[in-house]
Protein backbone atom coordinates (compact mmCIF):
# COMPACT_ATOMS: atom_id res chain seq x y z
CA UNK A 1 0.00 0.00 0.00
CA UNK A 2 1.53 3.42 -0.96
CA UNK A 3 2.27 5.94 1.76
CA UNK A 4 -0.74 8.28 1.99
CA UNK A 5 -0.31 11.75 0.53
CA UNK A 6 -2.61 13.67 2.86
CA UNK A 7 -1.30 15.45 5.92
CA UNK A 8 -3.24 17.45 8.44
CA UNK A 9 -3.17 18.53 12.02
CA UNK A 10 -5.89 17.96 14.55
CA UNK A 11 -6.23 18.91 18.20
CA UNK A 12 -5.82 15.97 20.59
CA UNK A 13 -6.35 16.75 24.26
CA UNK A 14 -5.68 20.45 23.60
CA UNK A 15 -2.50 20.04 21.56
CA UNK A 16 -1.99 20.05 17.77
CA UNK A 17 -0.88 16.72 16.30
CA UNK A 18 0.22 16.20 12.68
CA UNK A 19 -0.96 13.01 10.97
CA UNK A 20 -0.48 11.35 7.62
CA UNK A 21 -3.37 9.65 5.87
CA UNK A 22 -6.37 10.99 7.77
CA UNK A 23 -7.93 12.27 4.55
CA UNK A 24 -7.74 8.85 2.93
CA UNK A 25 -9.17 7.12 6.00
CA UNK A 26 -12.06 9.58 6.23
CA UNK A 27 -12.81 9.26 2.51
CA UNK A 28 -12.94 5.46 2.82
CA UNK A 29 -15.23 5.65 5.85
CA UNK A 30 -17.53 8.04 4.04
CA UNK A 31 -17.62 5.76 0.99
CA UNK A 32 -18.54 2.86 3.30
CA UNK A 33 -21.42 4.87 4.79
CA UNK A 34 -19.95 5.21 8.29
CA UNK A 35 -21.71 7.79 10.43
CA UNK A 36 -20.53 9.75 13.50
CA UNK A 37 -21.62 7.83 16.59
CA UNK A 38 -21.23 4.40 14.95
CA UNK A 39 -20.03 1.91 17.57
CA UNK A 40 -16.26 1.61 17.66
CA UNK A 41 -15.71 4.32 15.03
CA UNK A 42 -12.98 6.15 16.96
CA UNK A 43 -11.11 2.94 17.72
CA UNK A 44 -11.32 1.88 14.07
CA UNK A 45 -9.81 5.19 12.94
CA UNK A 46 -7.07 4.81 15.53
CA UNK A 47 -6.25 1.38 14.11
CA UNK A 48 -6.24 2.65 10.52
CA UNK A 49 -4.14 5.74 11.27
CA UNK A 50 -1.65 3.72 13.33
CA UNK A 51 -0.47 2.08 10.11
CA UNK A 52 1.31 5.31 9.13
CA UNK A 53 1.60 7.25 12.39
CA UNK A 54 2.72 6.58 15.93
CA UNK A 55 -0.10 6.74 18.45
CA UNK A 56 0.90 5.96 22.05
CA UNK A 57 -1.19 3.15 23.54
CA UNK A 58 -1.94 5.31 26.57
CA UNK A 59 -3.42 8.04 24.34
CA UNK A 60 -5.64 5.91 22.12
CA UNK A 61 -8.86 6.96 23.80
CA UNK A 62 -7.95 10.65 23.44
CA UNK A 63 -7.14 10.14 19.76
CA UNK A 64 -10.35 8.17 19.23
CA UNK A 65 -12.42 11.03 20.64
CA UNK A 66 -10.55 13.56 18.49
CA UNK A 67 -10.99 11.43 15.37
CA UNK A 68 -14.74 11.11 15.95
CA UNK A 69 -15.04 14.90 16.24
CA UNK A 70 -12.94 15.45 13.12
CA UNK A 71 -14.86 12.87 11.13
CA UNK A 72 -18.17 14.55 11.99
CA UNK A 73 -16.72 17.88 10.82
CA UNK A 74 -15.35 16.22 7.68
CA UNK A 75 -18.77 14.79 6.78
CA UNK A 76 -20.49 18.12 7.39
CA UNK A 77 -17.98 19.83 5.16
CA UNK A 78 -18.19 17.16 2.44
CA UNK A 79 -21.97 17.25 2.36
CA UNK A 80 -22.00 21.04 2.14
CA UNK A 81 -20.21 20.85 -1.22
CA UNK A 82 -17.08 22.46 0.19
CA UNK A 83 -14.12 20.79 -1.54
CA UNK A 84 -12.33 20.74 1.80
CA UNK A 85 -8.72 20.14 2.54
CA UNK A 86 -6.39 18.96 -0.14
CA UNK A 87 -5.14 15.41 -0.46
CA UNK A 88 -1.68 15.55 -1.88
CA UNK A 89 0.25 18.77 -2.22
CA UNK A 90 2.10 18.32 -5.48
CA UNK A 91 5.45 19.84 -6.36
CA UNK A 92 6.93 23.29 -6.02
CA UNK A 93 9.86 24.05 -8.34
CA UNK A 94 10.10 20.27 -8.72
CA UNK A 95 10.32 19.56 -4.96
CA UNK A 96 7.58 17.75 -3.00
CA UNK A 97 5.54 20.38 -1.18
CA UNK A 98 5.87 18.31 1.99
CA UNK A 99 9.63 18.97 1.97
CA UNK A 100 9.32 22.76 2.09
CA UNK A 101 8.67 24.23 5.55
CA UNK A 102 6.74 27.30 4.39
CA UNK A 103 3.63 27.85 6.46
CA UNK A 104 2.40 30.28 9.10
CA UNK A 105 2.85 30.03 12.83
CA UNK A 106 0.16 31.63 14.97
CA UNK A 107 1.09 32.90 18.43
CA UNK A 108 -1.95 32.02 20.53
CA UNK A 109 -1.08 34.65 23.13
CA UNK A 110 -1.21 37.40 20.46
CA UNK A 111 -4.18 36.20 18.38
CA UNK A 112 -7.35 38.08 19.38
CA UNK A 113 -9.68 35.91 17.31
CA UNK A 114 -10.73 38.75 14.99
CA UNK A 115 -11.02 36.30 12.05
CA UNK A 116 -9.57 38.66 9.44
CA UNK A 117 -7.06 36.04 8.30
CA UNK A 118 -9.80 33.42 7.94
CA UNK A 119 -11.83 35.69 5.66
CA UNK A 120 -8.77 36.31 3.53
CA UNK A 121 -7.62 32.73 2.97
CA UNK A 122 -9.60 29.86 1.50
CA UNK A 123 -6.87 27.22 1.65
CA UNK A 124 -7.96 25.62 4.96
CA UNK A 125 -4.45 26.22 6.25
CA UNK A 126 -5.87 28.42 9.02
CA UNK A 127 -8.98 27.36 10.89
CA UNK A 128 -10.89 28.59 13.94
CA UNK A 129 -9.85 26.92 17.16
CA UNK A 130 -12.28 25.97 19.90
CA UNK A 131 -11.12 28.72 22.23
CA UNK A 132 -12.01 31.46 19.71
CA UNK A 133 -8.56 31.88 18.25
CA UNK A 134 -6.99 30.65 15.04
CA UNK A 135 -4.69 27.69 14.60
CA UNK A 136 -2.68 26.26 11.72
CA UNK A 137 -4.86 23.29 10.81
CA UNK A 138 -3.18 22.25 7.57
CA UNK A 139 0.27 23.84 7.23
CA UNK A 140 1.05 22.32 3.84
CA UNK A 141 -2.05 23.85 2.28
CA UNK A 142 -0.38 27.25 2.59
CA UNK A 143 0.69 28.70 -0.75
CA UNK A 144 4.48 28.86 -0.82
CA UNK A 145 5.70 32.44 -0.86
CA UNK A 146 2.36 33.89 0.27
CA UNK A 147 2.28 35.77 3.58
CA UNK A 148 -0.93 37.74 3.08
CA UNK A 149 -2.48 36.62 6.36
CA UNK A 150 0.52 37.95 8.29
CA UNK A 151 0.16 41.27 6.52
CA UNK A 152 -3.44 41.73 7.65
CA UNK A 153 -2.98 40.51 11.22
CA UNK A 154 -2.92 43.66 13.34
CA UNK A 155 -1.53 42.09 16.53
CA UNK A 156 1.25 40.46 14.46
CA UNK A 157 0.30 37.01 15.68
CA UNK A 158 1.24 35.33 12.39
CA UNK A 159 4.85 34.77 11.40
CA UNK A 160 6.67 32.98 8.59
CA UNK A 161 10.17 31.66 8.00
CA UNK A 162 12.53 34.13 6.30
CA UNK A 163 11.64 34.38 2.61
CA UNK A 164 15.33 33.85 1.79
CA UNK A 165 14.84 30.24 2.91
CA UNK A 166 13.03 29.60 -0.39
CA UNK A 167 16.10 30.51 -2.43
CA UNK A 168 17.70 27.14 -1.71
CA UNK A 169 14.97 25.47 -3.77
CA UNK A 170 16.25 26.09 -7.26
CA UNK A 171 14.02 25.04 -10.16
CA UNK A 172 14.69 21.38 -10.97
S1 LIG B 1 -5.84 38.08 11.88
FE2 LIG B 1 -4.37 37.63 13.54
S3 LIG B 1 -5.48 38.19 15.42
FE4 LIG B 1 -7.01 38.01 13.81
S5 LIG B 1 -7.72 35.86 13.97
FE6 LIG B 1 -6.07 35.90 12.45
S7 LIG B 1 -4.22 35.40 13.63
FE8 LIG B 1 -5.78 35.98 15.12
S1 LIG C 1 0.17 32.75 3.67
FE2 LIG C 1 -1.46 32.97 2.18
S3 LIG C 1 -2.03 30.86 1.65
FE4 LIG C 1 -0.82 30.73 3.52
S5 LIG C 1 -2.32 30.73 5.17
FE6 LIG C 1 -1.70 32.89 4.86
S7 LIG C 1 -3.15 33.78 3.37
FE8 LIG C 1 -3.36 31.51 3.34
Residue-wise pLDDT tens digits, 137-146: 888 889 999 9
**Residue 149 near ligand 2, beta carbon < 6 Å:** yes
Task: Label residues 67-98 b or e (16+ Cβ within 10 Å = b).
Answer: bbbbbeebbeeeeeeeebbbbebeebeeeebe
Q: Hey, which of 103, 104, 159 would you mutate to test ligand 2's pocket, going by the most ligand atoms within 8 Å of its Cβ? A: 104
Ligand closest in space to the Cα of 163: 2
Atom of ligand 1 nearest to the CA of 106: 7
**What spacing in Å lies between the alpha carbon of 67 and ligand 2's midpoint?**
25
| Alpha-carbon span 118 to 144, nearest angstrom | 17
pTM over 0.95: no
- The closest of 21, 73, 70 to 47, measured between CA atoms, is 21
Whose Cα sits closest to atom 6 in ligand 1?
117
pLDDT digits (tens, 9 = 90+) for 57-67: 999 999 999 99
Per residue in 103-151, pLDDT (tens digit) is 999 998 999 999 999 999 988 889 888 788 998 888 888 999 999 999 9
Amino acid sequence: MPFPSSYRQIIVDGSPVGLHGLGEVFAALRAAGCKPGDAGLGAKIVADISRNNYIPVSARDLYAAAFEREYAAYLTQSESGDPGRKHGYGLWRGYPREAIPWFPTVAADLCNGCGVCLKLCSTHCLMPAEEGKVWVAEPLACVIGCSSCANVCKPKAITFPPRSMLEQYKQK
